[in-house]
């Protein structure tokens, strides 16, 4: 289910909406994986490029959930090798905020913060590749790393015979 709400905010780990300048941090969207529900901010309706980017990101949270451990690990290895090459930047704020909190000299792939980063990076990369947006202020990862991620996704789609389950 995709739902629209106005003035979407995140407050103490919960999603709130409604008029006025209530408490919480403004967010564009949220996904509830078990309920199979995506909530989008109504303001996105006036910004089609941003809507496509954010909806693609949210849909790939469902893809990530069903990807399976071997493919999730393969993605994490790609990110790990990027970090060893000192890649800076990301393909969206969601991933970038989490990347900034990691210590590249002491990466532990079993930590919650690493797994959160891997997931957000996967969704932001999918949004970069599939939403039609080529340029965006949040796309700060160098082209050669973007190219490697594009290859990884192309392999994934080939491996899954053109279809990704959501």
Nearest residue (CB) to Zn ion, 94 versus 125: 94
Cβ of 149: how many Cβ atoms within 10 Å?
Answer: 22
The window from 41-49, 100-108, 114-122, 148-156 that contacts Zn ion (CB under 5 A) reads: 114-122
- Fill in the DSSP letter of residue 105: T
The Cα-based distances of 59 to 87, 102, 108, 149 in angstroms read 26, 25, 27, 18
Interface map 127-166 toward Zn ion (x if CB under 5 A): ----------------------------------------
What token pair was written down for 65? 């959930």
Nearest residue (CB) to Zn ion, 123 versus 129: 123
> Which ranges of 10-142 does DSSP label H, i.e. alpha helix?
48-65, 69-84, 93-100, 112-130
Q: Which helix (H) or strand (E) holds 5?
A: strand 2-5
- The CB-of-164 to Zn ion minimum distance in angstroms stands at 16
Helix, coil or strand: residue 41 = strand
Nearest residue (CB) to Zn ion, 39 versus 123: 123
First to last CA, the chain: 12
- The CB-of-100 to Zn ion minimum distance in angstroms stands at 16
The window from 15-23, 108-116, 117-125, 150-158 that contacts Zn ion (CB under 5 A) reads: 117-125
Q: How many residues bind Zn ion (CB under 5 A)?
A: 3
* Residues in 70-109 at the binding interface with Zn ion, rule: CB under 5 A: 94
The window from 1-9, 77-85, 119-127, 151-159 that contacts Zn ion (CB under 5 A) reads: 119-127
The window from 46-54, 69-77, 121-129, 155-163 that contacts Zn ion (CB under 5 A) reads: 121-129
Nearest to 1 by CA among 31, 23, 22, 27: 31
Binding site for Zn ion (CB under 5 A): 94, 120, 123
């Amino acid at each position: 289910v995709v739902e629209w709400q106005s003035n979407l905010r995140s407050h103490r780990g919960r999603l709130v909406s409604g008029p006025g300048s209530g408490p919480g941090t403004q967010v564009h969207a949220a996904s509830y994986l078990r309920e199979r529900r995506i909530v989008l901010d109504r303001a996105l309706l006036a910004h089609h490029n941003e809507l496509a980017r954010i909806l693609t990101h949210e849909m790939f949270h469902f893809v990530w959930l069903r990807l399976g451990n071997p493919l999730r690990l393969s993605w994490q290895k790609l990110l790990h090798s990027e970090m060893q090459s000192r890649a800076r930047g990301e393909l969206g704020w969601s991933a970038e905020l989490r990347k900034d909190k990691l210590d590249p000299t002491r990466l532990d792939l079993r930590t919650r913060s690493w797994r959160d980063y891997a997931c957000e990076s996967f969704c932001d990369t999918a949004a970069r590749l599939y939403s039609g947006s080529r340029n965006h202020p949040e796309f700060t990862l160098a082209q050669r790393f973007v190219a490697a991620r594009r290859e990884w996704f192309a392999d994934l789609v080939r491996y899954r015979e053109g279809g990704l389950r959501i």
